[in-house]
Amino acid sequence: MPGLEPKKQGRILIAEDEPGMQEWLKMELSRAGHSVEAVSNGIEAAERIERGKFDLVISDLKMPQMGGAALLDHVKRVAPQLEVILMTGYGTVESAVLAMKKGAYDFILKPFSIEEMILLVEKSLEKRDLKTLVALYESSRAIFSTIQMDRLFEIIMDMLQTVLGGDEGSLMLFNEEKKLVIAASRGLSEEIVRQTHVQVGERIAGRVAEKKQALLLVDGLEKYPDFRDLPSNDRIKSSIICPLIWQGELSGILNINRTRKRENFTVADLQSASIFAAQVSLAIQNAKLYEGLRQAYQKLEAAQNQLVQSEKLASIGRLVAGVAHELNNPLTSVIGYSQLALESEDDLTEIRRRLSIIFEQAQRCNKIVKELLLFAQRRTPEFQQVDLCRLIDESLEGISIELNKQAVKVSKHYPSAGVHLQADPQLIQQVFTNILANACQALEAAGHEKEIGITISSSKEKVLTSFSDNGPGISQEVLHKIFDPFFTTKGVGKGTGLGLSLSYGIIKEHGGTITVKSECGRGTAFTVELPLEKIRTVIR
């Protein structure tokens, strides 16, 4: 009939006990392009539904033996995805409405035109397609919900059966020997999974892999000439085999079989399977990418750990060398003068002089050991409110003798408001004393007026304390080593090289930083920075 060709073609089962109506519907729907079967009662319709696959059932509401309402109940039990349209007379509209509440797609009142029926059929088939799209969308959401390969395989197998309604299936991927092996399966025995190793071009999966084209098999393998040389599996009624292709490259094979269900897969099922296979290909590539990144990260982490371990060993080596160097000189003096004192026949005054040298060198060793203990057993800061300016003044007082001896001028630039902060007073004062003592020692060789400047400044985020001197400065070649343990620019016996390393660690534990700038011939400046959250400025 012109103008009535449907947009969707479907497999339709008609259940109608009136022969004229049955024949008319079958003829017109077939002419419209549908595949149509017809029976005269609900019992026959139920048997057909169990034996074959249909997209739609059109049933009269009133029939002998089993009416349309009872047939609807049966359909929703055995094939819930199958749509049902009920035909009814004016006197049974209430029954038809009740049937719709039970899941019928729609009802149509007799008498009706074929145009009305074809339009209703098209809408029901569109709903079928929409259900398929929804199922594919849900499968897409599911398989892209994880990037863990093992979990992804489980979801693929679950969705394969949900979307296509198969009894068994498998996901085949290439192994290191470039053979297809079963990476995941449903309904297959462990023996089949273990023994399956397929070359491209071999068996069904291998031939699909070779051609990179999806394949639909119905009614077994016997009628397919290309597969006559293959062992037939009598259990399989119908199969869909889809290649997994990513950017033109084959990555595997997806297979779904029907064994217990007697109906064949359809071309529509093949289209759905092809869409699903494309989703699976992308999901597997994402999982492989994640796995590659995870392995790369693990290698990087292992290399980093190895580097840290190597650095630790190097630090231990520097520590041992530093300790040996610092202790070797005084111990040599101790041993030498002790031996001279024991063997000497000189007068008591000379022996005392030598013993005095031994005592001084032993004291030096004692100082080195104490600094090593401080370095190795650095304690956790005990925070309390302290006056930053007062800590600096007390540090200056501690080295006042040396400052006066060298006539060092100290200029202080404190804020008008006293700065109070949460800190460990002993540790912070140790840092300040160490920086000021280093500055004082650096000025020993200066031939000009000696000066140390101390400046405290603050912003919204931090407080800076700067200590500068106009000494000889430090060369850029060694400036980057200034905080390394045992590194010192001082002469033998004048420093262990641990003070600034200790100071660096103390300030870091307070959440701050300590930096140094220096220029040969113009002096050196150390800046201690502490974060604002550990600082509270109080007006005196």
Asked if the model's pLDDT at residue 171 lies above 90, the reply is no
The confidence score (pLDDT) of residue 53 equals: 75
The confidence score (pLDDT) of residue 453 equals: 94
In which band, very low, low, confident or very high, does the pLDDT at 131 lie, cut at 50, 70 and 90?
low
Which of 46, 92, 101, 102 lies closest to 71, judged by CA?
A: 46
The DSSP letter of residue 381 is: P
In sequence order, which residues have a C-beta less than 8 Å from that of residue 325 and are 6 or more positions away?
486
Question: What would the pLDDT profile of 22-76 be if each residue is shown by its tens digit?
Answer: 999 999 999 988 889 999 999 999 888 877 778 889 999 888 888 888 998 888 8
Question: What would the pLDDT profile of 195-252 be if each residue is shown by its tens digit?
Answer: 888 888 888 888 888 888 888 888 777 777 666 666 656 677 888 889 988 888 888 8
Overall residue count recorded for the chain in this entry: 540
The confidence score (pLDDT) of residue 538 equals: 40
Exposure string of 385-403, with b = 16+ CB inside 10 Å and e = fewer, is ebbbbebbeebbeebeeeb
Question: What would the pLDDT profile of 458-488 be if each residue is shown by its tens digit?
Answer: 877 788 999 999 988 888 888 877 877 666 6
Which of 77, 34, 25 lies closest to 54, judged by CA?
A: 34
The confidence score (pLDDT) of residue 69 equals: 87
- Which amino acid, 471? G
User: Biggest alpha carbon distance in the chain?
Assistant: 147
Q: Given CATH 3.40.50.300, say whether it is the number of domain 143-290.
A: no
Question: What would the pLDDT profile of 411-431 be if each residue is shown by its tens digit?
Answer: 999 988 778 888 888 888 889
In which band, very low, low, confident or very high, does the pLDDT at 137 lie, cut at 50, 70 and 90?
low
Which of 2, 334, 280 lies closest to 144, judged by CA?
A: 280
The confidence score (pLDDT) of residue 536 equals: 43
Beta-bridge mates of residue 120: none
Least confident piece of the model among 13-17, 87-91, 137-141, 265-269? 137-141
What does residue 280 show for φ and ψ, rounded to 5 degrees? -65, -40
Question: H-helix or E-strand containing 524?
Answer: strand 523-531
CATH class of 384-537: alpha beta
Q: Rounded CA gap, 295 and 171, in Å? A: 24
Residue ranges of the chain that CATH labels 3.30.450.40: 143-290
DSSP letter string, 207-269: HHHHHT--EEEES-STT-GGGTTSPP-TT-SEEEEEEEEETTEEEEEEEEEESSS-SPP-HHH
| Residue-averaged pLDDT of the chain | 79
Could you give the percent of the chain with pLDDT greater than 70?
A: 79
Token pair, residue 510, equals: 């307070």
What does residue 226 show for φ and ψ, rounded to 5 degrees? -65, -20
pLDDT mean over 362-369? 70
- Which amino acid, 30? S
In sequence order, which residues have a C-beta less than 8 Å from that of residue 67 and are 6 or more positions away?
42, 60, 61
The confidence score (pLDDT) of residue 535 equals: 45
Cα angle 524, 530, 536 (rounded to 5 degrees) comes to 130
- Note whether 441 and 490 are within 8 A (CB): yes
Predicted structure pTM score: 0.44
State how far Cα 156 lies from the chain centre.
21
- Note whether 501 and 483 are within 8 A (CB): yes
- The CATH number that domain 11-128 falls under is 3.40.50.2300
Q: Crossing angle for the helix pair 114-143 and 19-31, nearest 10 degrees? A: 60
Residue ranges of the chain that CATH labels 3.30.565.10: 384-537
Asked if the model's pLDDT at residue 20 lies above 50, the reply is yes
Asked if the model's pLDDT at residue 112 lies above 80, the reply is yes
Cα angle 268, 270, 273 (rounded to 5 degrees) comes to 115
The confidence score (pLDDT) of residue 492 equals: 43
Least confident piece of the model among 40-49, 265-274, 338-347? 338-347
DSSP letter string, 459-514: -SSEEEEEEEE-SS---HHHHTTTTSTT---SPTTS--S-HHHHHHHHHHHTT-EE
State how far Cα 141 lies from the chain centre.
18
Q: Rounded CA gap, 248 and 246, in Å? A: 5
What does residue 333 show for φ and ψ, rounded to 5 degrees? -65, -45
